[in-house]
Amino acid sequence: MKGISISILVICLGGAMVVRSQPHTRQPKFITFDAPGAGNGAGQGTYPFGIIDGGATAGYYVDASYVYHGFLRTPNGQITEIDAPGAGQSAGQGTLVYGMNAALEVVGQFVDANNVLHGFLREQDGRFSEIDAPEAGTEAGQGTLGANITAAGLISGQYTDEAGNGHGFVLARNGEYTEFTPPHAGGGSDVSVGAFYGMNSQGDFTGGVADSNGVWHGWLRSPHGDLTEFDAPGAGTANGEGTFADGVNQTGEVVGYFSDSNNVFHAYSRTQRGEMILFDAPGAGSGAGQGTYTQDANAEGTIAGFFVDANSAYHGYLRSAQGGFTTIDAPGAGSGAGLGTLVVGGNDEGTVGGYYIDANGVGHGFVRMP
């Protein structure tokens, strides 16, 4: 049996031999992969964005010309390249996948030849639908991004208008479109949405918003449109500091991270009742830009993310609902600053997805099975 080591103890008792087997703890299994066409230079490679129940994963890769291409990898290892019609073919342009549902429908954005952003939906049979928010800007760096899609086909995302202001939106399968702006948003402010894990099946939707002073605040939007903003205790109050939200699970638990007044990052979990649990991964550094980041929480409350150590190297982790930590370092991951392992999420089966950056600065995808 793979993953199980059996040791045999032989004990002689009065001429009789007693054989006892003692199974060792099953070891996790790593599967690493590279999308066909992924480049092998620094900043190139394969970057999964999340994993769903069953083990399918999706994300994007960067080719040798620094053009982006989306991909979908099924549990049997088959990788499908995803290029949205209209995507540009120059460096920094192309297609990026940010969300996926159980039907293997994916959403994301593409950057066209004029560097304008457009959201998209790709159905399982390969059909594409472009998503452009009605008020989205049409200049370089402006436009629309698709971030999540539920089993019912509800899509969430964000757009930047012609004045550079950020807004969120939800789009139903029947075409019903709703946009929103969190209350703390200031003029010229930004709105971020949690991608891949930022919306649960009920339609709870989470993200962050920067106010007019550039301070970030987390928000949670209910399926009925009620918006709740929140700040983690200890979050900094200067420009670029504050509270960020990345994911919401089926119980309404929000996970994210915050930067303190020293620009060190710490993680949190916020229950449906608004109670917050703060935590730092063992081994996380305490310098500016270092610390603990969360990405996702599954239905059982297991949180997945990564931390940055004192050498500014990355390590993945899992935190159980009881508070126990498991550090995850993919085989082949580099150990220097800006290198290492980044866990992007886990599913309800205990399988974890992510990518690692090797000693040459190249990204590679991985799946870690329990």
> Domains along the chain?
29-369 (2.130.10.10)
pLDDT class for 189, splitting at 50, 70, 90? low
Q: The pTM is what?
A: 0.91
Nearest to 112 by CA among 135, 139, 146: 139
Which residues, at least 6 apart from 226, have a Cβ–Cβ distance to it below 8 Å?
none
Q: What is the DSSP letter of 214?
A: S
| Count of all residues that appear for the chain in the document | 370
Exposure string over 274-312, b if 16+ CB within 10 A, otherwise e: eebeebbbeebbeeeebbbbbbbbbeebbbbbbbbbeeb
The mean predicted confidence, pLDDT, of the chain is 92
Least confident of 19-28, 158-167, 360-369: 19-28
SS (H, E, C) 302-346: CEEEEEECCCCCEEEEEECCCCCEEEECCCCCCCCCCCEEEEEEE
Paired tokens of 65: 């010309």
What is the reported pLDDT for 190?
84
Residue with tokens 């999340």: 50
pLDDT attached to residue 28 = 87
- Is pLDDT above 80 for 208? yes
pLDDT of residue 81 exceeding 70? yes
**Percentage, residues of the chain above pLDDT 70:** 92
Mean pLDDT to the nearest integer, 134-138: 97
pLDDT above 50 (res 312): yes
CB 173: neighbour CB atoms within 10 A?
12
- Tell me the mean pLDDT in the region 167-174: 96
- Whether 44 has a pLDDT exceeding 50, the answer reads yes
Q: Give the C-alpha separation, 274 to 228, whole Å.
A: 10
Would you place residue 38 in the very low, low, confident or very high pLDDT band (cuts 50, 70, 90)?
A: very high
Residue type, 354: G
Confidence of residue 186 (pLDDT cuts 50, 70, 90): low
Residue the block writes with tokens 């940055």: 308
pLDDT tens readout for residues 85-104 = 999 999 999 999 999 999 99
pLDDT at 52 over 70: yes
More confident residue, 57 or 184: 57
What are the pLDDT digits (tens) for 216-253?
Answer: 999 999 999 999 999 999 999 999 999 999 999 999 99
Query: What letter represents residue 196's amino acid?
Result: F
User: How would residue 283 be classed by pLDDT, with cut points 50, 70 and 90?
Assistant: very high
Residue type at 117? L
Judge whether residue 21 has pLDDT over 70.
no
Q: Round the CA-based radius of gyration of the chain to a whole number and report it.
A: 22
Q: Residues 266, 255: contact at Cβ < 8 Å?
A: no
More confident site: 18 or 166: 166
Give the pLDDT band of residue 259 (cuts 50, 70, 90): very high
Determine how many CB atoms are found less than 10 A away from the CB of residue 151.
10
Whether the predicted pLDDT of 4 surpasses 50: no
CB 330 within 8 A of CB 341: yes
**Residue 15, pLDDT above cutoff 90:** no
**Long-range CB pairs of 138-145, under 8 A, 24+ apart, other chains included:** 138/162, 140/114, 140/115, 140/116, 141/115, 141/116, 141/117, 142/116, 142/117, 143/109, 143/116, 143/117, 143/118, 143/119, 144/109, 144/117, 144/118, 144/119, 145/98, 145/108, 145/109, 145/117, 145/119, 145/193
Taking the alpha carbons at both ends of the chain, their separation in whole angstroms is 14
Q: What is the DSSP letter of 26?
A: P
State the pairing for strand pair 155-160/177-180: unpaired
In the prediction, which pLDDT does 27 show?
83
Per-residue tokens: 64: 């040798």
Confidence of residue 112 (pLDDT cuts 50, 70, 90): very high
Q: Is the pLDDT of residue 200 over 70?
A: yes
> Is the model's pLDDT at 14 over the cut of 50?
no
DSSP 135: T
Confidence of residue 17 (pLDDT cuts 50, 70, 90): very low
Mean pLDDT, residues 47-67: 97
Confidence category of residue 8, pLDDT binned at 50, 70, 90: very low
State how far the Cα of 10 lies from the Cα of 152, in Å rounded to an integer.
58
